Structure 1
Amino acid sequence: MISAVFWSSWMVNPNFLPQGHPGQTVHSPNGDFKAQVYHMSGFIDYKNVRVDIINNETKKKEMIYYNYVDKSLDIMWVGDDTLKIEEKYLQVDKDKFNYRTEYRGLE
């Protein structure tokens, strides 16, 4: 029972993810936000990446992207509030991508 609760929490709650190792930081064109990339690897051969958005004014930090990536992450700002991460376009105030829930149809 406890393992089922832990597993389901891990699937939907970003607080269960490890922080990871800091990678690149990409600042928005207007300086309002920065995207911080974190790389994680486990005890088996997999690599995950998470991207947190930090609002430079409020210092609020929120994960907007989590995925399996086995290469350098392709990330760039395409507007003051829109990031292109790999093939995904994410508006920082409303969009998120998390392969753990999207892959399993939980979003």
Structure 2
Amino acid sequence: MNTPVYNTAEMQKRVDDYISQFKEGYFSPLSQVARLTEEVGELAREVNHYHGEKPKKQSEKEKTIEEELGDILFVLSCFANSLDVDLSEAFHIAINKIETRDKNRWTKKGK
């Protein structure tokens, strides 16, 4: 299966195209933060199952870290769209801050 590659603008548009077909539209910002928190919790559970000390019960549905990360990206895109935030610009601001603030924080690898 060839998985399409999306940049953040394409992701946000695809999410908006999907949400825009429903009268209800986007959830309120508070509901979306709650939903994002829920999805991050599901990711944490999967990480714990695969990399931690808590194996899955045999009765638990098989999920993957990839699936949970995808759910987070979807909810994050919904949240950004509802507040008219460009995720690409938000990332640009964040990475510039991190690269400036933390440029000497970690030990660089030798060449």
Q: TM-score range by the shorter chain?
A: under 0.3
Report the TM-score when normalising by structure 1: 0.21
Structure number, greater radius of gyration? 2
Q: Which has the higher strand share?
A: 1
Report the TM-score when normalising by structure 2: 0.20
Tell which has more relative contact order, 1 or 2 (C-alpha 8 A, sep 6+): 2
